[in-house]
Amino acid sequence: MKALLALEDGSVFEGEGFGREGETFGEVVFNTSLSGYQEILTDPSYKGQIVVMTYPHIGNYGVNLDDEESSHPWVEGLVIKELSPVVSNFRSQMSLDEYLKKHQIVGIQGIDTRRLTKHLRDHGAQKGGISTVELDPKRLIRKVKDSPDMVGADWVKAVTTKEPYDFDETLLAGYEWPDKVVAKNRQYFVVAIDGGIKRNILRKLNQHGFRVRVVPATTKAEEILALKPNGVFLSNGPGDPAAVTYLIETTRKLIGKVPVFGICLGHQILGLALGGKTYKLKFGHRGGNHPVMDLFTKKIEITSQNHGFAVDVDSLPKEEVELTHINLNDKTAEGLRHKKYPVFSVQYHPENSPGPHDSDYLFERFYAMVSHHA
């Protein structure tokens, strides 16, 4: 079936629809990962966004339920160059096309994703729409322009858990408990504030010796402290961090009371809670090949990233907060720590392990911090 992708600046791309028939709207962004499309689809941080995969051949290894990062896909739509007609993987349970149909996600293939990506790099991420029903370019562009903006949007309330729950990977069928975790025996208790958390983050916290309770992003600091956690984790998530005022206020009240570790949105929320500001990047950082330098060890990590906003380092109080990591592509802030309190964060995703384990030390650092203050 014929499909159109339209951008708010008037650009139109013609292709073939797959997945659900219909139309969808969101911020059009690109991801440079060579694989991992299922993890990308189910990452809650992509709520409100249409994802363009820069790798040309997508879907060749199918989809399986074990690799989902959450209960279902969150992307508004998927844009690819070519959908693989063959699915070849012993773990595959269905094709990508079947998976998108099952979860009512609109996709488009057969367009020049290289040209589209270069356009987004030159002109910035912008609103767009995919449609298999509205094939008049002018009318589709008008619909795109009327769709919601990403700046100022709080998507966290749409993706956060409704009720608290305890996460224990060992209760899942077929799980093998690593020896190093048995040694640690999960003696410390962490509250993870869910701004759109990924399952592999929870697995990593378990694997590094933490008992984990996940709570909604709207949970107040007093409620969290009443649980008497040894540490608090601030998760990744979608949208504009400055719009999530309730989580900023909660984080501000937790600083100095309990060790805090933040990833991605959690890093941005922490920066805002410490008195800094955030700003929107031109086209964001999304992919599994971003180089980051640890300013203390001078080691370079190959990292996985997914964010469209960044912390303004110059806006932070330098007598209290210091920069710990930088992005080697554009020198943006990739890590922070408080000079007095046990608080640190990174902008990238250490749990995705593209290095493959370049960033695993961050969970070990959190464990050491928690054990020191227990």
- Provide DSSP, 153-191: ---HHHHS-SS-EEE-GGGSTT----HHHHHHTT-EEEE
Residue 372 designated active-site: no
Looking at residue 184, what is its pLDDT? 55
**Which CA distances in Å does 289 have to 28, 267, 285, 348, 356?**
20, 20, 10, 11, 11
Residue 349 designated active-site: yes
Residue 208 designated active-site: no
Which of the residues 264, 285, 307, 325 is marked catalytic?
264
Extract the residue ranges of the chain whose pLDDT is less than 70.
171-185
- CA 372-373-374 angle, 5° bins: 100
pTM score above 0.75: yes
**Which CA distances in Å does 328 have to 157, 347, 358?**
33, 13, 15
Looking at residue 322, what is its pLDDT? 97
Looking at residue 279, what is its pLDDT? 97
Q: Quick count: other Cβ atoms within 10 Å of Cβ 256?
A: 12
E runs forming strands in 61-219: 77-79, 82-83, 106-109, 126-131, 165-167, 188-194, 210-216
Dihedral sign for Cα atoms in the order 229, 234, 237, 240? positive
Looking at residue 181, what is its pLDDT? 46
- Please state the φ and ψ torsions of residue 215, each to the nearest 5 degrees: -125, 155
Domains, the chain, ordered by start:
2-146 (3.50.30.20), 156-373 (3.40.50.880)
